[in-house]
């Protein structure tokens, strides 16, 4: 058969075909699970050449595996990067980028609101290794420019942030950086393609917790990092495989490859339902505020319209009014969450099932109260990941839960 040229192909065509060819052994259409720790060499000479890299081939699955490679090639095509490395978790991706690209004496600017464990790794762990860290509201480009020092080597942020949903203008940050040797790294977990393409906006590296939308079925923990071939090689050799062994398993890669083929369909549905849920919550008299980039009332809506392709993620956060039925915001939130019948009380997001959680005590429990307060995470904030259930059923469940107040 003729080789398929994907350079001008649409999103789902790439998501289905990139990285996947019928398997050379038996022509299997689905990429097989190469569940092996090691690969046999034809001879000593063959093994030496593969270790030296003078002939291509796999040697040991910690350093590379055909199923995992198919996933990496597919993700590079989906995010529009030169190369990708898959990791054993989203945190493996965050840690690997740091270990792979930074060294003692460097300075990092980190968004002032990030996922709890990312906050710990960047703000608490990096300084132990002589890396300076400055938390900045990266939504404020003047603040980003003012925080840059001669030794700044990385600007790392989430957009939308977890769980406050605030946005950063990715192209704006890239413009502030200009020609400086500073890597712009975006955690795109909350807005996967086709919602947002950080590399096309000027970022150098995009990473994901694949655990969420990319796998999309709630049955895998994994991560990916996409960027230039040089950056990925450095991250892979130092941060992921050779040193730290934070690699993705072949079985997980197989499941993710399967999930990615329906990414566009799933993400569209998540986003469309989330907008409807956000509008419903905004109209409820019990709700103080809804944090969702697709709402016109959201402070960063203009940035959302600029860089989020008309889809605005499947996650929203909200806060109830204080004093409802004599309850504090926290007590009212607890009452509503406990009354939900369809959404499960669970962390994670981007699953088929709707999931609801309390960031202050769950995803961000390991962040100090002071930092939580600076992120805006109050006791009243509830995060809701809108699932793939019928939109009317999701809204009906929220309606009955709010009616119990
Ligand atoms: C924005 C964000 N980044 C990274 C992670 C870490 O991903 P994982 O749980 O796959 O390690 C999470 C997990 O919730 C997240 O929400």
Q: What is the per-residue pLDDT across 16-38, written as a single tens digit (0 to 9) for each?
A: 999 998 999 999 999 999 999 99
- Do 164 and 67 share a domain, yes or no? yes
- What is the mean pLDDT, run by run of 10 residues, along the chain of 405 residues? 86 94 93 98 97 95 95 97 97 96 98 96 97 98 98 98 97 98 98 98 98 98 98 90 86 98 98 98 97 98 98 97 92 95 98 97 93 92 98 98 95
Q: Are 96 and 239 in contact (CB under 8 A)?
A: yes
Span 126-174, pLDDT tens digits: 999 999 999 999 999 999 999 999 999 999 999 999 999 999 999 999 9
When divided into structural domains, the chain yields a total of 2
Of 227, 260, 293, the position where a domain reaches its end is 260
Which of residues 220, 237, 260 is at a domain's end? Answer: 260
Range of the domain at 288: 263-402
pLDDT at 152: 98
Atom of ligand 1 nearest to the CA of 94: 4
Give the residue ranges of DSSP H helices in 102-187: 116-119, 141-147, 170-177
Does the active-site annotation cover 187? yes
Tell me what pLDDT residue 240 has: 78
Q: Are residues 115 and 168 in the same domain?
A: yes
Q: Are residues 256 and 286 in the same domain?
A: no
The residue whose C-alpha atom lies closest to atom 9 belonging to ligand 1 is: 90
- The verdict on whether omega for the bond into residue 403 sits within 30 degrees of 0, i.e. cis, is no
**Ligand 1: distance of its center to the CA of 219 in Å?**
14
On whether residue 231 sits in a domain, the answer given is: yes
Is 2 inside any structural domain? no
**189 Cα nearest atom in ligand 1:** 1
Residues 6+ apart with CB under 8 A from 352: 216, 217, 218, 266, 387, 388, 389
Question: Quick one: DSSP state of residue 326?
Answer: G
Determine the residue of 90, 156, 161, 365 to mutate for testing ligand 1's pocket, defined as the one with the most ligand atoms within 8 A of the Cβ atom: 90
Does one domain contain both 228 and 209?
yes
Instruction: Give the active site residue among 69, 153, 212, 329.
Output: 212
Q: Hey, is 43 helix, strand or coil?
A: coil
State the CATH number of the domain containing residue 284: 3.90.1150.10
- Closest C-alpha to ligand 1, atom 8: 90
Task: Please report, rounded to a whole number, the percentage of residues in the chain having pLDDT higher than 70.
Answer: 100
Is 188 in contact with 196 (CB distance < 8 Å)?
Answer: yes
62 is annotated as an active-site residue: yes
223 and 87 share a domain? yes
Q: What is the pLDDT of residues 260-300, one digit of tens each?
A: 999 999 999 999 999 999 999 999 999 999 999 999 999 99
pLDDT at site 3? 82
């Amino acid at each position: 058969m003729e080789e398929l040229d994907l350079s001008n192909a649409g999103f789902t065509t790439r998501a289905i075909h990139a990285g996947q060819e019928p398997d050379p052994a038996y022509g299997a259409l689905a990429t097989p699970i190469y569940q092996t720790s090691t690969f046999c060499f034809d001879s000593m000479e063959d093994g030496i050449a593969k270790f030296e890299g003078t002939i291509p081939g796999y040697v040991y699955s910690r350093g590379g595996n055909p199923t995992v490679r198919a996933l990496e090639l597919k993700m590079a095509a989906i995010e529009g990067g030169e190369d990708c490395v898959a990791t054993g978790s989203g945190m493996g991706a965050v840690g690997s980028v740091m270990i792979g690209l930074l060294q003692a004496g460097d300075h990092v600017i980190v968004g002032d609101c990030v996922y709890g464990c990312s906050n710990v790794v960047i703000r608490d762990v990096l300084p132990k290794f002589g890396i300076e860290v400055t938390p900045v509201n990266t939504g404020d480009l003047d603040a980003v420019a003012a925080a840059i020092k001669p030794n700044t080597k990385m600007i790392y942020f989430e957009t939308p942030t977890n769980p406050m949903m605030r946005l950063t203008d990715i192209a704006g940050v890239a413009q502030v950086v200009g020609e400086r040797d500073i890597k712009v790294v975006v955690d795109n977990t909350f807005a996967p393609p086709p919602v947002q393409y950080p590399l096309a906006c000027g970022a150098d590296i995009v990473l994901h917790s694949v655990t969420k939308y990319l796998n999309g079925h709630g049955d895998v923990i994994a991560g990916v990092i996409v960027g230039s071939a040089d950056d990925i090689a450095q991250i892979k050799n130092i941060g992921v495989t050779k040193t730290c062994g934070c690699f993705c398993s072949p079985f997980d890669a197989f499941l993710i490859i399967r999930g990615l083929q329906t990414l566009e369909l799933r993400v569209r549905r998540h986003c469309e339902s989330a907008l409807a849920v956000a509008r419903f919550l905004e109209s409820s008299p019990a709700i103080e505020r809804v944090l969702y980039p697709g709402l016109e009332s959201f402070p960063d809506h203009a940035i959302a319209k600029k860089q989020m392709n008309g889809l605005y993620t499947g996650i929203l956060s909200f806060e109830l009014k204080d004093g409802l039925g004599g309850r504090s915001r926290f007590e009212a939130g607890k009452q509503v969450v406990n009354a939900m019948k369809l959404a499960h009380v669970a962390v994670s997001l981007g699953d088929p099932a709707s999931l609801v959680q309390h960031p202050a005590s769950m995803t961000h429990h390991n962040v100090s109260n002071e930092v939580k307060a600076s992120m805006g995470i109050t006791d009243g904030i509830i995060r809701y990941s809108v699932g793939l259930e019928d939109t009317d059923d999701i809204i009906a469940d929220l309606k009955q839960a709010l009616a119990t107040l």
